[in-house]
Amino acid sequence: MGKMLRFLVAAVALAVSAGVMIADPLPPSSLIATASSLGQSALGDPSAFNFVESLTTEIGQRLAGTEAHRRAVAWAESKLTAAGFENVHSEPFTLTAWIRGAESAEIVGPVPQHLVVTALGGSVATDANGIEAEISLFRTYDDLLAAAPGSLNGKIAVVTQRMVRAQDGSGYGAANPIRRRGPSEAAKRGAVAYLLRSLGTDNHRLPHTGALSYEDSAQRIPAAALAVPDADQLERLAAQGPVRIRLLLTPTVRESAPSWNVVGEIKGGARPDEIVLVGGHLDSWDLGTGATDDGAGVAIVFGAARLIARLPQRPSRTIRVVLFGAEEMNFSGAAYAKAHEGETGKIVVAGEADFGARNVYSVQLPSGAATNDFGRTLDRIIAPLGANLDRRPALGGGDDIRDLQTAGVPVVSLRQDGLDYFDTHHTADDTLDKIDPKQLAQAVAVWSVFTYLAAASDVDFRSLAPAVK
């Protein structure tokens, strides 16, 4: 009882300090009990898995700016409506769509053989006949950066740095510049094309795509990822002497292609204009069916909000589910933030599920919240679900909510086990069979508890943040 009382007192103190009227909050004891039973019922609820099964089966891949993505948007609207969401609509924006073409690579000398590659998203095409050149191989990205300007003139630069496997995905963050920035860094040193070892932790002959980002000041050169064993092969051959490669990539772009952020809401009871925003991204790469990236994420937030909508009493704040439309090429977050510029002060907190389909093992809250009653209460409720509060504040919440965060919206990060996420990430092997329904349901459970507590309590994350000097 003491804990519940402290929660109530703290909630009142917070509301007063933030100048917020408490309308009719649920009594804390009932709020905690509701959140606990919500989490338990989520463990046995198949609706998130059914959602991602339908998406990956009936739509499949859904590259932003393509007809497949347009079909996914219509599919999502009908699913949200059928599940009882309100205010279901799609918010349009445009992007430069990138469409994969033919892609092939081979070693022409000293020993001719096929290489498995896939173009990086955003890559320019080679000549129609491909490009043939000697390679310059770097075992680390730093080695490439240390190369002098002009030293790669006429060469195909190859970076074979390995990505580290880690539960929190930190290996991907560390390796990301190799893919994003590598092509321009190679071009600045004279390279005519760029290859990297796939950013992946597997050893299959399935290359991992992903977006690059060219620098305005550098020549735009074609860029592709090698399957991991093919990068190993090049390392061995390059150690013996010069290697020549032929590379063919024929992607195209479509300017001003349409995309949409799909929105559905569970309207709040007492304070409907305060918003708890949870999202994932509906678009996917074109190679697989976008099951773990990010069919699972949109399914998790859908499943969590759907369970809350079925409670006998609505939380006081509105829960807004946003299925972002172009995360992979990094367009949808900015489009969303711009369209909602005047509303960011109303968004209590934002979170995005975009890290696969496995269990949530910890939750990082906005700064200052972990040691508050909100954090302590959340910690208690998610412990039986196999997750705990991470006392470090969330540094970021996902690509699509970064612009909201920049505009001052507090963000949350629900950490999912990513130990094997990068085995199939952005490959043809990102398919439904990689999703364990039980682990997906656990992620839904933790998301539903967090979302419900944020929407049903008076927590003001902005007022909890330590003052910045």
Told to judge if 132 belongs to the known catalytic residues of this protein, a careful annotator would answer no
CB-based contacts of 169-175 (< 8 A; 24+ apart in sequence): 169/355, 169/418, 169/421, 169/422, 171/201, 171/422, 172/199, 172/422, 172/425, 175/141, 175/199
Using the CB atoms, write b or e for 240-278: b if 16+ within 10 Å: eeebebbbbbbbeeeeebbbbbbbbbbebbbbeebbbbb
CB-nearer residue toward Zn ion: 126 or 198: 198
Of 146-154, 226-234, 346-354, 454-462, the segment contacting Zn ion by CB under 5 A is 346-354
- Identity of the residue, 327 or 390, whose beta carbon is nearer to Zn ion in the bound complex: 327
Residue ranges in 349-368 that form contacts with Zn ion under rule CB under 5 A: 354
Tokens 């656990």 sit at which residue? Answer: 442
Give the integer Cα–Cα distance in Å for 426 and 169.
14
Among the listed residues 185, 283, 293, 400, the single contact to Zn ion using CB under 5 A: 293
Residue 430 engages Zn ion in binding (rule: CB under 5 A): no
CB–CB of 210/177 below 8 Å? Answer: no
What's the closest the beta carbon of residue 354 comes to Zn ion, in angstroms? Answer: 4
Residues touching Zn ion, count (CB under 5 A): 3
Compare residues 77 and 294 and give the one whose CB is closer to Zn ion.
Answer: 294
Task: Report the nearest approach of Zn ion to the CB of residue 294 (Å).
Answer: 4
- Candidate list 77, 265, 274, 327, residue with the active-site label: 327
Rounded to whole angstroms, the Cα distance separating 317 from 321 reads 13
Distance, CA of 104 to CA of 249 (rounded, Å): 7
Secondary structure E strands in 202-316: 223-226, 244-249, 252-266, 271-281
> What is residue 345's DSSP assignment?
G
Q: How far is the CB of 356 from Zn ion (least distance, A)?
A: 9
Radius of gyration of the chain, Cα coordinates, nearest whole angstrom: 24
Stretch that binds Zn ion, among 59-67, 287-295, 405-413, 427-435 (CB under 5 A): 287-295
Contact between 231 and 109 under an 8 Å Cβ cutoff? The reply is no
With binding defined as CB under 5 A, does residue 294 bind Zn ion?
A: yes
- Residue 344, φ and ψ in degrees, nearest 5: -60, -30
Closest CA to 454 of 352, 365, 383, 393: 365
Query: Residue 281 CB, nearest distance to Zn ion (Å)?
Result: 6
Q: How far is the CB of 62 from Zn ion (least distance, A)?
A: 12
DSSP secondary structure, 306-336, as one string? HHHHTSSS--SEEEEEEEES-TTTT-HHHHH
3-class DSSP assignment, residue 296 = helix
State which residue, 126 or 209, has the beta carbon closest to Zn ion. Answer: 209
C-beta of residue 93 within 8 angstroms of C-beta of residue 185: no
Of 424 and 442, CB closest to Zn ion? 424
Q: Does 132 bind Zn ion (CB under 5 A)?
A: no
| Residue 398 C-beta: closest distance to Zn ion, Å | 8
CB of 291 to Zn ion, least distance (A): 11
Q: Which is nearer to Zn ion, 354 or 417 (CB)?
A: 354
Measure the CA–CA gap between 27 and 17, rounded to whole angstroms.
19
- Our CB check for Zn ion shows the closer of 199 and 263 to be 199
Instruction: Please choose, out of 5-13, 79-87, 244-252, 286-294, the segment that lies near Zn ion by the rule CB under 5 A.
Output: 286-294
Interacting span for Zn ion (CB under 5 A) from 9-17, 79-87, 88-96, 294-302: 294-302
Write the DSSP string, 56-101. Answer: IIII----TTSHHHHHHHHHHHHHHHHTT-EEEEEEEEEEEEEE--
Stretch that binds Zn ion, among 49-57, 193-201, 347-355, 437-445 (CB under 5 A): 347-355
Instruction: Show contacts with Zn ion in window 201-220 (CB under 5 A).
Output: none
CB of 138 to Zn ion, least distance (A): 25
Handedness of CA 139, 142, 146, 152 (dihedral sign): positive
Positions marked catalytic:
327
Interface residues with Zn ion (CB under 5 A)? 293-294, 354
